[in-house]
Each structure stands twice: as structure tokens, then as C-alpha cells.
Amino acid sequence: MKVELSRFNASCSCGRKHEISVKNIIIEAQAVRYLKGIIAEYHNPVFLCDSNTKKASQESMGEYFEAYKVLELEGSDIHADDRQVEWVQKRLPSDADVLVAVGSGTIHDITRYMAQERSIPFISVPTAASVDGFVSTVAAMTWQGMKRTIPAVAPVYVLADTDIFAFAPYRLTASGISDLMGKYTALLDWRVSSIVTGEFFCEQINQLELEALGEVEAVLDKIRMQDKESMEKLMYALILSGLAMQMMGNSRPASGAEHHVAHFWEMEILNDKLDALHGEKVSIGLLLCLEHYERLKQAITSGQCRVNGHSGFETEILMQTFGKKGLYEGVLEENGQNILETVRPEVLDNALPLIKEALEELPEAEQMREKLSLAGCVTDMKEIGLQDSLKELTLRLCPYVRRRLTLLRLSKMLDYPGAIPIG
Ligand SMILES: [Zn+2]
Ligand SMILES: [Zn+2]
């Protein structure tokens, strides 16, 4: 399947002309056969992979690995962080003129960062349908302990070869399903922010994503059987989510409070290092947020939700938690002007009925838990080594990892039964 890109580049009903930089996306068996023609234009292509992704793609990619320089990242615990970037910087030839990312999220983030730094293009060969970041223009990196979203470049070509990604370990695929389902709360947060602050919102992007989500939800059982056609639908939906980020120029349509939960745990403020994939953390983040949002919806419906006017920065607890890890300054820097101060209490009060309407479009937490569970995804904090007792403090602190308005952050301005403490 060749993804028809012209529809994403056209003028949009939202009034903007969205632009995407990807030239071609192919999702099919033997998609990597196109690589030969593409890299023939370049003098010194360099491939980036790790030992797992190299092995997983060996059959289809072996001839390229033999013919070109390959940077194989070492070790089993590879992260997109300053340490790995430095490793690549030292080894990447100065005359490399195109990079080929052969891997999943981490390899792509490191590659897109390097491509940006060297001002050269890169080509994406995803080895698993595990994240939505393949075509993203930003790299999710850990920089000196802080999770950051760093401007980078999107690939010029995506060659998603079903013969490679459909055979990835199922845990990776399940993680991709969870990352995708996380769009429900991400899109809700975006809409809510647009309701209360007038933040730009594109209905068409929203619809595109919801459609792709629906298509994947309809074939979750087949994905679990690793049915190729259904796996391609999952890959398409993940890539589409990345395209939505390109169209907006940021990760707004793909990352809301559920991702803040995941990033928060990755920063290891309350917890030790987790042995969990990105999507597995998003999976729990999604369920926690859905549960919490349901409580809010019920409170608004029953008239038990009031604006409390609290918009302060929770300095004391942030110093006690982030501060203990030496990350308080990083939080201040990321947050800049407190985003809650951009919300006028009377506007929020008037917006409650609209927020309720938006919440009614969300899937119910229990239904989502069942779906995820049937699809073999993580649904319980304990599965990723976290105690339930961390739930409340996680929801309280995670909104501070990004300066992005979510309903979770906004809920600090509201009083309702089951509200998270503030102060
Ligand atoms: Zn639009
Ligand atoms: Zn994600």
C-alpha cells in the first residue's frame, strides 16, 4: 500500500494549509526493495540499527548491511539520550549524506536527531509497529535526565516492510496498539484546551485520527494473530498519527496527559527504572486518565464540579519530588510561565458543558481496559513494576513535565468529588 499523501498536503477545512515533508510512504511486503533506487542518489548512506533490529531485518536487509556502513548501537538497554547521541556523533562519517533508520522508536529518534544536526535526510525502515513516532518532526529524547521533545526532521521516505514488522515480538506490537489508543485522551486534551484557551484545533486531523483508531479497534483480535493485513492497518494508523504531528508542527494531536504519565515515570521521580516499553507506560497512563476523566464527567453532569480559581504552581511538592532528583530547575524551565494562568476562571466555568460533551465522546475506562487486555496489552500498574499507591501522586505531578494544557492539568482549577489534592 502506497499512502496517498496529497490529501494531507491540501488546504484544510480548518483554514490552514498543513505541510508534510515525507515524500513517500509504502506499507507492504517487500517494501525495502525500493531502498536500492532511493539510496542510489547518495554517495555515502549510513545505516543505524541495534543488534535486535539488525537481526530482525537481516533477511530483507542483509544485502544493504553488507554493502554500506552500519552503525550498530551497542547493548540491550538503548535509549534516545545524550549518551547514545554522543556515541553516534563520534562514529558517523563526516561525509555521510543520508541515514537509514532500521529499528523502532529509539533508533528513529536518534537518527532524526543526527539527521537534523548534520542537515541530511533520513529514510525510515520500521522494524515493529510499536510507536507512532516514525514520521514525527520532533525527537523524544532524555537530555541530562529530563525528558524533552527536541525539534528534528521527519524521514523523506518510509518503507514499512510487512515481512519485517509483522514478525516483530508481539510485545512490541501490543505496545504500538497502546500508543495508538492513547490518542483518545490526547485528542480530548487538545479539544478541551481549544475550548478554554482558543488554542488552534483542526477538526479534520481529529477525524482522520479517530477513523484510523476505529479501524484498528475493529481488528484487534486479528492483530493478535499477527494477521498481515491487520498489522498493516496498525502500522498505517501509527504512521497517520505521526503525519498528524507533522501537519500541526508539534505533537499536540498525539500526546496528552496519558503521555505525561509515561514521561513522568521515565524521569524516575517516584519510581525506580521501569522495564517497560513506551506504549506499555502509555497504556497505563491512558487508563488512569480515562478513569479520572470519567469522574470529572460525572461531577459536571451532576452539578458537583466547581471552578476553584486555583492556578498556582505547586512549588513545595515539586521541590520535594523533582527537586530531590535535581530536576526542579528543569521543570521550571520547561514550564516557563505557568500555563494555568492563561485560563480565565469564568471562561472555564462557562466551558464546563462543552467539556462534558467532549468527555462523552471518550471510550469508557472499563471498556478500554477490556479491549487492551484482549489485545494482549498492559493494563495493570503492577505489570510494569509500579504500585497502585503511586497513582494519585503521579496524576498530580505528571502535568508538570510539559508546558501543555491537558484536562488533567486543568482539573487543578476544579473542585469535584475525587479531585486530586493541590497545594
Ligand atoms: Zn486542518
Ligand atoms: Zn507515544
Q: How far is the CA of 201 from the centre of ligand 1 (A)?
A: 8
C-alpha of residue 253 to centroid of ligand 2, in Å = 11
Ligand nearest to the CA of 177: 2
Q: How far is ligand 2, taken at its centre, from the CA of residue 165, in Å? A: 18
Distance CA 48, CA 88 (A): 9
Q: H or E stretch including 24?
A: strand 24-28
**How far away, in angstroms, is 281 Cα from ligand 2 center?**
9
Distance CA 163, CA 96 (A): 28
Ligand nearest to the CA of 104: 2
Indicate which ligand has the atom closest to the C-alpha of 262.
2
CA 11 to ligand 1 center in whole angstroms: 8
Give tens-digit pLDDT for 20-32.
889 999 999 999 9
H or E segment to which residue 392 belongs: helix 391-397
What span, in angstroms and rounded, lies between the C-alpha atoms of 164 and 168?
A: 7
CATH of 176-202+253-415 given 2.40.10, 1.10.287, 3.40.190, 1.20.1090:
1.20.1090
Tell me the HSE value of 96 on the side-chain side, using a 13 A CA sphere. Answer: 28
CA of 303 to the centre of ligand 2 (A): 34
Q: Residue 326 C-alpha to ligand 2 middle, in angstroms?
A: 26
CA dist., res. 260 & res. 407, Å (int):
12
Helix (H) or strand (E) run with residue 142 in it: strand 138-143
**What distance in angstroms lies between residue 70's CA and the mean position of ligand 2's atoms?**
27
Q: How far is the CA of 91 from the centre of ligand 1 (A)?
A: 41
pLDDT of residue 12: 87
Measured in angstroms, how far is the CA atom of residue 196 from the centroid of ligand 1? 19
Return the SS3 of 372. helix
- Ligand 2 centre to CA of 279 (Å) is 6
Q: Which residues of the chain have pLDDT under 50?
A: none
Give CA–CA dist 402/147, Å, rounded: 9
The bound ligand whose nearest atom lies closest to the alpha carbon of 203 is 1
Q: How far is the CA of 238 from the centre of ligand 2 (A)?
A: 9
- Ligand of minimum distance to the alpha carbon of 209: 1
C-alpha 171 – ligand 1 centre gap (Å)? 34
Task: Give the ligand at the shortest distance from the Cα of 279.
Answer: 2
Give the DSSP per-residue string, 265-315: HHTTSSS------HHHHHHHHHHHHHHHHHHHHHHHHTT--EE-------H
Please give the distance, rounded to the nearest whole angstrom, from the Cα atom of residue 322 to the centre of ligand 2: 22
Q: Which amino acid is at 18?
A: H
Find the 199 Cα to ligand 1 centroid distance in Å.
Answer: 13
CA–CA–CA angle 364, 365, 369 (5° rounding): 120
The Å distance, Cα 192 to ligand 1 centre, comes to: 17
- Block residue for cell numbers 479531585: 419
Whether 176-202+253-415 and 6-167 are alike in CATH topology: the answer is: no
Quick one: pLDDT at residue 147? Answer: 75
The cell for 313 is 504552581
| CA of 204, nearest ligand number | 1
**What DSSP line would sit under 143-211, residue for residue?**
ETTEEEEEE----SEEEEEHHHHTTS-HHHHHHHHHHHHTHHHHHHHHHHHHHHH-----HHHHHHHHH
Supply the Cα-derived Rg of the chain in whole angstroms.
21
Q: Which CA distances in Å does 369 have to 240, 376, 421?
A: 24, 11, 26
Q: How far is the CA of 81 from the centre of ligand 1 (A)?
A: 33
Residue 158 near residue 25, CB atoms below 8 Å: yes
- Ligand 1 centroid to 244 CA: how many Å? 9
Ranges of each domain in the chain: 6-167, 176-202+253-415
- Residue 421, pLDDT score: 86
| CATH entry, 6-167, from 3.40.50.1970, 3.40.640.10, 3.40.50.720, 3.40.50.2000 | 3.40.50.1970
The three three-digit cell numbers of residue 68, written as one number = 554500506
Return the ligand number nearest the Cα of 178: 2
Q: How many A from CA of 10 to the centre of ligand 1?
A: 9
Ligand 2 center–CA 255 separation, angstroms: 7
Q: Which ligand is nearest to the CA of 149?
A: 2
Q: How far apart are CA 237 and CA 231, in angstroms?
A: 10
User: Which set of grid coordinates corresponds to residue 66?
Assistant: 553488507
ipTM of the complex: 0.98
